[in-house]
């Protein structure tokens, strides 16, 4: 094994790519941005059991602009390496594509061209056809691997799912984590398998007609295994986040780090979309905000790939700046999360439950159904105080098809100390009835894994850290974040059972709920195809006293009514004749397709002539 250094201005373009790049059958080019260092050495690592040794050490050539590079012959895929900085410490590659031994271990050279894709004819899913299934790969199957997830894909297709969204995959510390503590942005988590096994999963999704969305975190870097600031000024000197270091978007190379990561997931792994976590914490004082730069970069990639892809921002509350067209008329973000309808449903069903720092009122559900949101930016303005309240309900709804709505998400379930789901906080009938409003609304619906079965498997917050002080801080911090909850008996995030309990068992599942979800999604598909389920056709009706909420789609041929009664278990029976029921199509209670009265929560769907 030998090293060859060449002046950077005489090397081909491929040799200016950061990280490790195979440039021949066995030769690898290494390049790193380490502007905080005077010198950098490349170390080739050998492992024997738990014993780690440096087999070779090569000085890297500096271009005097903060970049160091070298080429090593006889350095095939799988070779372990790290960079020795001038502080004497060996650190993983900031652009590592694989961390087989975790965030503190050496990086591995990856052959990006080895995997044989078979999705050449895949063109993606149109936004109007999206039905997203959010899942955590470690909890989704008994073994929690990329390959094991493939075995469940056919069931998702039969349910009516058209896209899967993974909680963040960037390498995190420990053996279990939600994924939001990632520190190796370019390395898929080794807890679930290898990079090629992730590609196999994506390829299998495309083979079944499923789009794949990756949840990415650009607002902060996780607190353990974060060595970026030792290399260069990655850490913002001005901004902080509650979860870890904010990135320094004032520096061009840090911006490029994120832009390269955006293209990496689309190019390298063929993802069909990215969901950007907590975009309101992506601090940037530049006029050309990083969110706009990501958008423009993403659109160029989409055009080059000639494949329908989706850029999603998690703002949680309505932010028209993210979805309105840009000044020159170009598309902005394809969609944003909107949690207001979900939290309003929770509040209506169980007023004692509060799973967000926003305060929802008991009458917010009618506002959420009419407008698709309750709070909007800036400053979390209520819809009742905004201009949209003055508009005709059938006007000004162009934004609705760009909102992602859900009945449950990883946050809503995980923010409960015991990880309880909606049906456990209300009733199974309440969940089914509310599902009619979510899955037949003209926004993009999202289902959180297990929801379609009313699974009893919890999904509490879990995070594994090697640093004992971090484990203690996270355990206590979670309680401090939601002090109004009763935490007695709840698992600590660092407790292995917090993670292991999230995998559903056969006796956790309710087939009646699954049947109802499948019915709703089949109906949704039909309504999308015949252009019934669009915002301009929608009228809404709310009767808070009777806990009755309606979506009414009016077309030239008649009307479709989705009527959900969201009542408590001891609600007063409601005679059916008060509902103005027409020709019945479906009922959430399969014991009676046309009940004589509604004794509790229930969803009815019927048609009537205009």
Is residue 495, in this structure, part of any structural domain at all? yes
Query: For residues 70 and 29, what is the distance between their CA atoms, to the nearest angstrom?
Result: 6
Query: For residues 390 and 599, what is the distance between their CA atoms, to the nearest angstrom?
Result: 36
Query: For residues 241 and 221, what is the distance between their CA atoms, to the nearest angstrom?
Result: 9
* pLDDT of 7 higher than 50: no
Domain boundary among 70, 92, 108: 108
Residue 263 sits in a domain of what CATH number?
3.20.20.80
Is residue 550, in this structure, part of any structural domain at all? yes
List C-alpha distances in Å: 169 to 136, 176, 185, 192, 603.
9, 12, 8, 9, 37
Is residue 224, in this structure, part of any structural domain at all? yes
Nearest CA to 539 out of 394, 438, 403, 439 is that of 394
Sequence-ordered alpha helix ranges (H) in 180-307: 195-207, 228-231, 252-269, 290-305
170 and 54 assigned to the same domain: no
Confidence of residue 572 (pLDDT cuts 50, 70, 90): confident
Predicted local distance difference test score (pLDDT) of residue 392: 45
Predicted local distance difference test score (pLDDT) of residue 193: 98
Predicted local distance difference test score (pLDDT) of residue 393: 44
67 and 90 assigned to the same domain: yes
499 and 591 assigned to the same domain: no
330 and 304 assigned to the same domain: yes
Confidence of residue 590 (pLDDT cuts 50, 70, 90): low
49 and 72 assigned to the same domain: yes
Catalytic residue of the set 56, 61, 215, 277: 277
Domain boundary among 477, 499, 529: 529
User: Per the structure block, which two tokens stand in for 366?
Assistant: 């009618």
- Of the ranges 165-169, 280-284, 345-349, 483-487, which one carries the lowest mean pLDDT score? 483-487
Is residue 118, in this structure, part of any structural domain at all? no
207 and 89 assigned to the same domain: no
Q: Is 277 a catalytic residue?
A: yes
435 and 564 assigned to the same domain: no
Is residue 497, in this structure, part of any structural domain at all? yes
Asked if residues 499 and 212 have their Cβ atoms less than 8 Å apart, the reply is no
The pLDDT tens digits of the residues spanning 120-131 come to: 999 999 999 999
Q: Taking the model in full, what pTM does it have?
A: 0.95
For range 436-453, the mean pLDDT: 98
Query: For residues 392 and 191, what is the distance between their CA atoms, to the nearest angstrom?
Result: 51
Residue 35 sits in a domain of what CATH number?
2.60.40.10
* pLDDT of 386 higher than 80: no
Predicted local distance difference test score (pLDDT) of residue 575: 87
Predicted local distance difference test score (pLDDT) of residue 98: 98
196 and 251 assigned to the same domain: yes
Confidence of residue 487 (pLDDT cuts 50, 70, 90): confident
Query: For residues 284 and 299, what is the distance between their CA atoms, to the nearest angstrom?
Result: 21
Q: Is 314 a catalytic residue?
A: yes
- Of the ranges 2-16, 160-174, 254-268, which one carries the lowest mean pLDDT score? 2-16
**Residue 410 phi, psi (nearest 5):** -60, -35
* pLDDT of 481 higher than 80: no
Please count the structural domains in the chain. 3
CA atoms within 13 A on the CB side of 370: 20
413 and 560 assigned to the same domain: no
Domain boundary among 529, 545, 576: 529
* pLDDT of 432 higher than 70: yes
List C-alpha distances in Å: 332 to 310, 362, 397.
10, 33, 17
Task: Name the CA dihedral angle for 346, 348, 353, 354, rounded to a multiple of 10 degrees.
Answer: 70
99 and 246 assigned to the same domain: no
* pLDDT of 578 higher than 70: yes
- Of the ranges 41-45, 196-200, 541-545, which one carries the lowest mean pLDDT score? 541-545
Residue 564 sits in a domain of what CATH number?
2.60.40.1180
- Residue 63: give the domain boundaries: 3-108
Predicted local distance difference test score (pLDDT) of residue 591: 61
Predicted local distance difference test score (pLDDT) of residue 459: 97
Is residue 544, in this structure, part of any structural domain at all? yes
For range 94-117, the mean pLDDT: 97
* pLDDT of 13 higher than 50: no
* Of residues 6 and 459, more confidently modeled: 459
For range 78-86, the mean pLDDT: 97
399 and 452 assigned to the same domain: yes
Asked if residues 280 and 239 have their Cβ atoms less than 8 Å apart, the reply is no
Catalytic residue of the set 314, 319, 370, 401: 314
49 and 20 assigned to the same domain: yes
Is residue 117, in this structure, part of any structural domain at all? no
**What contacts 265, CB < 8 A, 6 or more positions away?**
214, 216, 271, 274
Is residue 91, in this structure, part of any structural domain at all? yes
* Of residues 187 and 579, more confidently modeled: 187
């Amino acid at each position: 094994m030998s090293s060859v250094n060449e002046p950077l201005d005489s090397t081909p373009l491929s040799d200016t790519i950061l990280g490790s790049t195979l440039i021949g059958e066995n030769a690898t080019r290494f390049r790193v941005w380490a502007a905080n260092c005077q010198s950098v050495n490349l170390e080739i690592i050998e492992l024997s059991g738990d014993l780690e040794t440096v087999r070779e050490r090569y000085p890297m050539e500096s271009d005097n602009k903060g970049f160091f590079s070298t080429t090593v012959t006889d350095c095939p895929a799988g070779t372990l390496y790290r960079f020795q900085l001038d502080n004497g410490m060996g650190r993983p590659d900031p652009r590592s594509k694989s961390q087989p031994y975790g965030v503190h271990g050496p990086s591995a050279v990856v052959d990006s061209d080895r995997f044989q894709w078979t999705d050449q004819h895949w063109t993606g899913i149109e936004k109007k056809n999206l039905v997203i299934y959010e899942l955590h790969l470690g909890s989704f199957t008994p073994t929690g691997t990329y390959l094991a997830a493939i075995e469940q894909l056919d069931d998702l297709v039969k349910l009516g799912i058209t896209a899967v969204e993974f909680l963040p995959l960037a390498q995190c510390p420990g053996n279990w984590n939600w994924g939001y503590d990632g520190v190796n942005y370019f390395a898929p988590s080794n807890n679930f398998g290898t990079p090629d096994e992730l590609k196999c999963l994506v390829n299998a999704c495309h083979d079944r007609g499923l789009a794949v969305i990756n949840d990415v975190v650009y607002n902060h870097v996780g607190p353990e295994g974060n060595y970026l600031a030792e290399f260069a000024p990655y850490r913002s000197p001005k901004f902080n986040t509650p979860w870890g270091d904010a990135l320094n978007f004032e520096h061009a190379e840090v911006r490029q780090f994120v832009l390269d990561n955006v293209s990496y997931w689309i190019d390298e792994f063929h993802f069909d979309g990215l969901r950007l976590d907590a975009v309101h914490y992506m601090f940037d004082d530049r006029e050309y905000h990083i969110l706009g730069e990501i958008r423009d970069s993403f659109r160029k990639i989409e055009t080059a790939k000639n494949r329908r892809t989706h850029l999603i921002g998690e703002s949680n509350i309505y932010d028209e700046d993210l979805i309105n067209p840009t000044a020159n008329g170009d598309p902005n973000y394809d969609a944003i999360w909107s949690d207001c309808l979900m939290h309003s449903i929770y509040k209506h069903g169980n007023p004692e439950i509060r799973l967000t720092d926003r305060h929802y009122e008991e009458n917010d559900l009618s506002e959420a159904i009419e407008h698709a949101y309750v709070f909007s930016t800036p400053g979390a303005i209520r819809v009742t105080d905004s201009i949209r309240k003055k508009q005709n309900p059938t006007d000004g709804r162009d934004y609705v098809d760009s909102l992602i709505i859900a009945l449950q998400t990883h946050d809503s379930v995980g923010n409960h100390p015991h990880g309880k789901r909606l049906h456990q906080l209300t009733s199974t009938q309440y969940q089914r009835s509310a599902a009619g409003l979510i899955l037949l609304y003209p926004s993009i619906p999202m289902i959180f894994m297990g929801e379609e079965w009313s699974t009893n498997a919890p999904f509490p917050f879990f995070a594994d850290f090697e640093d004992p002080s971090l484990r203690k801080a996270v355990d206590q911090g979670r309680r401090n974040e939601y002090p109004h909850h009763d935490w007695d008996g709840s698992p600590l995030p660092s407790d292995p059972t917090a993670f292991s309990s999230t995998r559903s068992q056969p006796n956790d599942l309710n087939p009646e709920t699954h049947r109802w979800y499948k019915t709703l999604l089949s109906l949704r598909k039909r309504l999308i195809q015949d252009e019934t389920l669009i915002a301009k056709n929608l009228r809404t009706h709310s009767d808070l006293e009777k806990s009755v909420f309606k979506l009414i789609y009016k077309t030239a041929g008649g009307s479709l009514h989705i009527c959900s009664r969201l009542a408590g278990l001891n609600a007063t029976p409601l005679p059916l004749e008060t509902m103005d029921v027409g020709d019945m199509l479906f009922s959430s209670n399969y014991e009676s397709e046309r009940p004589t009265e509604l004794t509790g929560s229930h969803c009815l769907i019927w048609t009537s002539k205009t």
